[in-house]
Structure 1
Amino acid sequence: MSIYALAVGVSDYSLIGEQNLDFCKNDIEHVSKALTKGLSVKPEQIFKIGENRVVKKQSLIDTLKNFKFDVEHEDTFIFYFSGHGCISRDGYHILVFSDGHIKTEDLIEYFNKINVKNKLLIFDTCHSGHFKINGLPSLDYESSLEKFLGTGYAILSSSSSNQYSYNHPDSEKQSSLFTSFFNDAIIARSLLKEGKKSLDDIINLLFQYMKIWNIKHPEYAQNPIFRSKLGGTIFFSVEQYIPYISNNYFLEQDKYRIYQVEPIHTASAKRYIVKIILKESLSLEDISKVHKEIVSIIMNIEVYTNEKDEKHWTGKLENNIFCYYGQSEDDILNSNFLCKTVWVDDTQDKSWWYRLSNRSKFINDVYFDINSNYKTLKEFYVTHTAEEATLIHQTKVILIHLVNLAERLIKAFNELLNGTSTEIQFIEEFEQISPLIKYYYFQESNLDLPSKEIKEWSAACTALSHTIHDFILFYSEHAIKNRTYDNRIACMKMTKTQYYKDLEKLKEEEKKIKYLINDVVIDLEK
């Protein structure tokens, strides 16, 4: 994926007798540098108009006509405009050039037709929030998440429809106020996660910057406006990400197999979960011997999930080892174990880890926690594991409803953040959406279990369903009475961010079983 940008800054308005805006020429330079530094946009893929201060309408039109969009469909196009803007007599917002104006909605419509995956349009003008985006992104049965996510366009404006946009009062900045904060947001290293930055995170940080500014400088208050017709959000690939490669440990013995060693280290304890498949039926006394053998093996291995833990714990003795025993791979995947044995060293609270109950006992000085429901659960998993095509179809239908409802709720929530709707108006929309989310959430919860081949995909679907359900927790009657406004807003923002992460995770899992999903769609078409 590549990013292409067109930055326009109009500084000279002498031809039409309007006030010149000297800082707009600087804005396009500052934005260009920020795009390169913050989003790794190649300088040769950033095109600028206005370096000589004058930008006539025809100059933009000619540039757009001759603009060679040498782009793939998966690419991103960013348009930035800095200059005068106002609301015309017929009620439309217009962008003012050195010799006239262009209706903002016409420009939006033009850019929407560009054949790239997504577009981000940024308007730094007075009254630039005076625009609408009709409709919502819609996920349908035939569309993959890969096609849906990040497809469409988003618009970011510097001020609401009744506000002016200012130059930065700090003369050293020599730029627009909004553009200065926008640049700070996109270059922020704190937003970089696994080599990517999300548009959602950039917008959240920008809004936070502007909120603080408005509190301190009410005479220069500007409320940015963000509206989107994107499926999910845009994830910008900023730099190469090399994930930590976690090693695993496997061992084949005559009576058992060490299937997985899972590190669960904390800051104060080195801990492992060991999952074991028993190759034959063993008594608890036999398992106690296996336990002791496994503990001695695990004491001599090093397994980690991240570099920080590896540096901290390498060469140090284990504090806790938890061994889980199943009779098949299905038991491991379903987390249905015959029993668990526990070993802890003398630094740990043994009265806690070895606490006794009606399901625990010591055998040969080994602590056992016995699963008395093992056989019942095993039968349940067998009888309630769905046929793959059926479960894929049922899950997709439910997830389509949930995702589209979430997008609808997020659109309403964004207007609350924009300050263009009140919380009461948002609650009215919420009360229409909430029962539907709850209905489909429970529909997903009641589905049968997945087979091994689609287990990870199904788990990602369930995680997304749970996150979407979380949206409705913060504006229930109880939440409105017991949570503050700021708490509700913060929780909604965090859930929105998690929603976008879950969508990306599900997209990757969907790719892995694409052949199965395609077969389901083909069968339905027949």
Structure 2
Amino acid sequence: MIKALIVGVSEYTLGAGCKNLPLYLNDIQAMKKALISGLAVKESNVLVLGENKVVNIDDFISTFNGVINSVDTSDTFIFYFSGHGAELNSENYLVLSNKPVSTNEVISLIDRLPCKNKIVIIDACHSGNKNVTLESPLNLQATADQFVGHGCAIFASCAIDETSGFNYSRNMSRYTCILYDALTNPYLIRNGKKSLEEIKQYVDRLADISNKSIMNKQHNAFRSSIVGTISFEVEEYKPYTTQKIYKETERYIIYSVKPVHANVKRISLEVILRFPFSKEDISDIAEEIKKDALSYEVYDNKISEERWKGKPNNIIFTYYGYSETDMINHTYAFRSTWVDSQQDKDHWYRLSDKSSVINDVWIEEYSNYSFMRKFISDNTADDVELTEATRNCMYEMILSAEKFLGYYREYINRTITEDTFTNSIKPLLTKIRELFLEQSDFSIPSKDLHKWSEGYSSLAATIDEFVVIYDPSSKRDSKNRKQLMDIAIKRYNDCLERVKELDIEFANRFDD
């Protein structure tokens, strides 16, 4: 559940030098609307302070304490402030109607809340204080679901030496306008969710565009201790379900059927053979399978289904092994390909010393099948040992990735130069690559642990992309590196969400 405190200060009693800000009343109204319509926050969970234009220190403290005391461990807490900001000795202050309060103190209180994640948004002059420190929620003894998506993030409207301006055409603060557009943009929704990272990227793009057309530029900042990102469920989502096909006969079992449609309708089957077979036998089995498989309707999504439904499959790829373990490890004894008369058979039926075309079916025998099967059997890890080794290695890798992203955010925030950033991450690049190689050398997971281990392997490869992008020997320029990092960060967050789900499945299976 999301709970929010929105604070807007429009009138001041501090005397000369602190002008009233009548437009800030529009800010808090817009932010309330953005949270309700854009993030599906219940109106009853949004508390607004400042609708009477005045926010005194006593009212702020009592309201703030009341809200944070109502926050539960499973909640997301959002704090938004719009008003004057002040800078003294490189420290930022939020200026209330009768007294300033230290931004660091407010953020520190919020950061220590027991809720799983916190978001602080400050639209005020001098708000981007690089000296803010946030506690990392990464616990190397915990499971991924206990730290992925947990932590604190801070959005600031400008650098500590800059002032925040207004969008007079919309009668709001410029940064709040940008936030409103980002939060309410329906095109950021994926699978019924909006991610904090994508909202942040949208804000950055709009801010860059705005800065190109104005004199008083303000460079927004983003800092975070959140491992991965926060995914807000904003609308009901029913994922597309691919049809499952499983069939048993006296000679074989159709273990899986997957769509691989492209410019023609194609499917891929995995088949467990009950007895030893020759190439000629496989040709006969492939022909038997084809009779039903021509009409198999399996799709990844609705668009593909609408395009191909009712049409026969043009190409059928089939992979054959002798056990479920073969299917899981993709260790096959044979593979076959059948294509219809509309396809280029010279292309699909290329011959070698290991392949043949028998009864219009291309068949290849894997000569290393027995060796690979024995190798996997001899090198399958103990579940407990592999689980412990994976967690120890991967959590260190995640910790290094988060430190890397911390430096990267400061580089993007313009508080450090590119040279400072690249020098700071050198030991992290070395550490990440060492851990990646360590992970890639783990023993083969058992059948029960295969999917879980595969999820962490994908995460390891994604984190290693940071190393590839910022490899000192590469010829990429700064712009290209940033573009690649946007893609890599998205993949990183997706992989973290995946391992979180796998950890939950793993724990439930263990409990059962």
CA contact (8 A) 2:267 2:317 kept: yes
Aligned pairs for 1:9-408 within 5 A: 9-17=8-16, 18-67=18-67, 69-88=69-88, 90-134=89-133, 137=136, 139-170=138-169, 173-217=170-214, 219-266=215-262, 268-408=263-403
Supply the distance in 1 between the matched residues of 2:216 and 2:352 (Cα, whole angstroms).
66
CA contact (8 A) 1:340 1:370 kept: yes
In the TM superposition, what whole-angstrom CA distance separates every residue of 1:184-233 from its partner, at most 9, and x where no partner exists? Answer: 1111122111111111111111011101111222x131111111122222
CA contact (8 A) 2:76 2:117 kept: yes
- Tell me by how many angstroms 1:337 deviates: 0.8
Partner of 1:3: 2
Supply the distance in 2 between the matched residues of 1:138 and 1:43 (Cα, whole angstroms).
29
- Tell me by how many angstroms 1:234 deviates: 1.3
Supply the distance in 2 between the matched residues of 1:336 and 1:269 (Cα, whole angstroms).
27
Supply the distance in 2 between the matched residues of 1:365 and 1:7 (Cα, whole angstroms).
70
- Tell me by how many angstroms 1:310 deviates: 1.1
In the TM superposition, what whole-angstrom CA distance separates every residue of 1:254-281 from its partner, at most 9, and x where no partner exists? Answer: 1111111111112x21100011111111
Cα distance change of structure 1 residues 136 and 489 upon mapping to structure 2, 3 Å threshold:
farther
**Unaligned residue ranges in structure 2 (runs of 5+):** none
Does the residue aligned with 2:448 lie in a helix, a strand or coil? helix
Supply the distance in 1 between the matched residues of 2:65 and 2:132 (Cα, whole angstroms).
25
Supply the distance in 2 between the matched residues of 1:452 and 1:228 (Cα, whole angstroms).
37
Supply the distance in 2 between the matched residues of 1:195 and 1:160 (Cα, whole angstroms).
33
Does the residue aligned with 2:436 lie in a helix, a strand or coil? helix
- Tell me by how many angstroms 1:68 deviates: 7.0
In the TM superposition, what whole-angstrom CA distance separates every residue of 1:373-417 from its partner, at most 9, and x where no partner exists? Answer: 111101111011111001111111110110000000000000111
- Tell me by how many angstroms 1:135 deviates: 5.8
Matched, 1:474 2:469: yes
- So what's the TM-score if we normalise by structure 2? 0.97
Matched, 1:485 2:478: yes
Does the residue aligned with 1:453 lie in a helix, a strand or coil? coil
- Tell me by how many angstroms 1:115 deviates: 2.6
Does the residue aligned with 1:376 lie in a helix, a strand or coil? helix
Supply the distance in 2 between the matched residues of 1:168 and 1:309 (Cα, whole angstroms).
44
CA contact (8 A) 1:137 1:407 kept: no
- Tell me by how many angstroms 1:517 deviates: 7.4
CA contact (8 A) 2:193 2:233 kept: yes
- Tell me by how many angstroms 1:357 deviates: 1.9
- Tell me by how many angstroms 1:75 deviates: 0.7
CA contact (8 A) 2:137 2:150 kept: no
- Tell me by how many angstroms 1:515 deviates: 6.0
Matching residue's letter, 2:183: I
Matched, 1:459 2:458: no
Matching residue's letter, 2:67: F
CA contact (8 A) 1:136 1:408 kept: no
- Tell me by how many angstroms 1:449 deviates: 0.4
CA contact (8 A) 1:133 1:228 kept: no
Cα distance change of structure 1 residues 71 and 102 upon mapping to structure 2, 3 Å threshold:
closer
Partner of 2:490: 497
- Tell me by how many angstroms 1:361 deviates: 1.2
Runs of 4+ in structure 1 displaced over 4 angstroms?
515-519
- Tell me by how many angstroms 1:161 deviates: 0.7
Supply the distance in 1 between the matched residues of 2:387 and 2:90 (Cα, whole angstroms).
49
Does the residue aligned with 2:5 lie in a helix, a strand or coil? strand
Aligned pairs for 1:496-515 within 5 A: 496-514=489-507
Supply the distance in 2 between the matched residues of 1:366 and 1:243 (Cα, whole angstroms).
36
- Tell me by how many angstroms 1:134 deviates: 2.7
Supply the distance in 2 between the matched residues of 1:6 and 1:403 (Cα, whole angstroms).
31
Supply the distance in 2 between the matched residues of 1:225 and 1:149 (Cα, whole angstroms).
22
CA contact (8 A) 1:10 1:83 kept: yes
**Unaligned residue ranges in structure 1 (runs of 5+):** 520-526
- Tell me by how many angstroms 1:136 deviates: 5.6
Supply the distance in 2 between the matched residues of 1:488 and 1:245 (Cα, whole angstroms).
36
CA contact (8 A) 1:185 1:202 kept: yes
Supply the distance in 2 between the matched residues of 1:36 and 1:68 (Cα, whole angstroms).
19
Supply the distance in 2 between the matched residues of 1:339 and 1:464 (Cα, whole angstroms).
31
Supply the distance in 1 between the matched residues of 2:305 and 2:255 (Cα, whole angstroms).
21
Supply the distance in 2 between the matched residues of 1:428 and 1:290 (Cα, whole angstroms).
60
- Tell me by how many angstroms 1:241 deviates: 1.3
CA contact (8 A) 2:130 2:415 kept: no
